[in-house]
Every structure is written in C-alpha cells, then in structure tokens.
Homo-oligomer: A and B are copies of this chain.
Amino acid sequence: MKRFALNSATTKRWPLPDLVAGCADAGVSGVGLWREDLAAYGVEAAAALVRDAGLTVTSLCRGGFFSTPGWLDENRRAVDEAAAVGAPVLVLVSGGLPDGSRDVDGARAHVRDAIGELVPYARAAGVQLAVEPLHPMFCSDRCVVASLGQALDLVAPYPAETVGVVVDTYHLWWDDQVWAQIARAGRERRIACFQIADWVTPLPAGVLLGRGLPGTGCVELRRFREAVDAAGYVGPVEVEVFAEEVWARPGREVLDEAVAGYLTHVA
C-alpha cells in the first residue's frame, strides 16, 4: 500500500476535499491530480488540502497538446502549477494532428522541438516533464506519441532528470516490444511515472472512456509492475481509470475497489 496512489481522474466526480479525506481515511498517501482539480479549488487551496491531510501529490496531469495555439504559455503555467502543488512530475500528452493535417512526421518533429523549448523552464522550476505515449488509437486526435520506444527516442536529446516518460499499462500492453523498452527506459533513467488501468472490450464510442479498474481486464498488470521495478523505478503506482460507469459510482467505493485490485493484481 505504500506505493499505491489514486489518480483523481479515476473518481472524476468526487470533490477534491472528499477525495483527500477519503484517501487519508483509507490509508492512501499519494494522489495524482489534474489541472482541472487545481482550477476548481485554487492551486494554493488544493495544495494545502493535500498537505494538511498528510498526502503527497505524485503527479500533475497534464501539459502537452503542443498542436494548440498558445501551447508554450499554457505549458509554462502547467509547470508552475506542478511546482506550486508539489508535484514532482508534469505528465505531457503531446496532442494529435492539427485539423486537416496528414503530416504525422511534422507533428512529431514539432513535439520534439516544443519539449526542447519547455525544458529550461521546467528545469528552473524543479519539475520533471514526463512524456506519455498513448495507445495508437489516439494518434490522430490526442497524441502522436504512440509507443514507449518512440517516446524514448523523442526525449533522448534532453536531460533525463528533466524529461522522462510515463509507463501506463493501458496504453502499452499490446506492444511486443514493451518489455525491452521498459528495460531501456530504466537504463536511460527515464521512468518518471507509472500508471495502471486495465483494458476492457468492447470500447465505447470515442474510445476515451473505456478503461477498467485493475483486474477487470486482460492486461498483465503485475508483470508491468515487476518490469518497472526491475528497471529501477521506485516511485508511486497510480491507478488512473477513465470510465463513465466508474465515475457514476461513489468515490470511496471506487477507491476501495482500486486498492483491492491493486493488492490482488499489481502489488
């Protein structure tokens, strides 16, 4: 249980004060937050809420979306918020193709350059950027970074202490290269964040909200945890599930089920 962390996206409709109280009550010491949480409660108020309950913020989601106008200022604000709330890591989801574009190479080159532009600011703020490869089904509309190997190639030009990668079981489980790439990520000191969700079918329309709590799907979750451990990762294990049917349930019930799934299938 020491490494378990609840990502607030898993209990999207649980108000932050209730989530924080629920985590403290359940013996959960880490929470991953979203910028939406900070916007709703105020950065300082949210930071105080978490700190006063004896919790730590394990990550802030998310920066990135480099295809959006104003991305640089927006990402600097995200870095500032991560620093203010004590999140060691800011998760970056790159964004997809610009509207009407077919130039995936160009979009990827822009992501590489954009990260480079953000690096000095993140380093000065003491926040590690974490590039998250999303499942290839999001390549066009959310994230042109579609595999762990690609993410590692992309971040290679930048210092590991400032730019790492996210290993998320939901996005990576299908890849026959993932075990070799996790080992590589360890050698290159790039694993900044480890997130857990399970894969369940059929996928819903739009495919964003189709994830399962740990143990409800077909992913070898423990194998992933053992692989990141073997690669030298010693950080938190965040359960991050997006699913309408999970969101519809009481937050504490979801948290308890996430903990139980973690203990049975991950720890």
Q: Which residues of A come within 8 Å of B, CB atoms?
A: 97, 101-104, 108, 135-137, 139-141, 146-147, 149-150, 153, 173-177, 199, 201-207, 217-220
Contacts of A139 in B (CB 8 A): 173-174
> In the complex the two chains form, what is the Cα distance from A97 to B217 in whole Å?
11
In terms of DSSP, what is the predominant structure of the interface of chain A?
loop
The answer to whether B140 touches A137, judged by C-beta atoms less than 8 angstroms apart, is: no
Residue of B whose beta carbon sits closest to that of A176: B150
Contacts of A218 in B (CB 8 A): 97, 101-102, 104, 140
**This chain: copies in complex:** 2
21 CB-based A-B contacts, threshold 8 Å: A97-B218, A102-B219, A102-B220, A104-B220, A136-B137, A136-B174, A136-B175, A137-B203, A139-B173, A140-B199, A141-B201, A146-B174, A147-B175, A147-B176, A150-B176, A202-B206, A203-B205, A203-B207, A204-B205, A205-B205, A207-B207
> In the complex the two chains form, what is the Cα distance from A265 to B26 in whole Å?
57
Contacts of A175 in B (CB 8 A): 136, 146-147
> In the complex the two chains form, what is the Cα distance from A29 to B174 in whole Å?
38
Extra contacts, 15 of them, besides A140-B218, A141-B201, A150-B176 (Cβ < 8 A), are A102-B220, A103-B220, A104-B218, A136-B136, A136-B174, A137-B203, A137-B207, A139-B173, A140-B217, A141-B202, A146-B176, A147-B176, A202-B206, A202-B207, A203-B203
Contacts of A220 in B (CB 8 A): 102-104
The answer to whether A203 touches B201, judged by C-beta atoms less than 8 angstroms apart, is: no
Residue of B whose beta carbon sits closest to that of A100: B218
Given contact pairs A104-B173, A104-B220, A150-B176, A202 touches B201 in the complex (Cβ within 8 A):
no
> In the complex the two chains form, what is the Cα distance from A139 to B219 in whole Å?
11
> In the complex the two chains form, what is the Cα distance from A206 to B199 in whole Å?
13
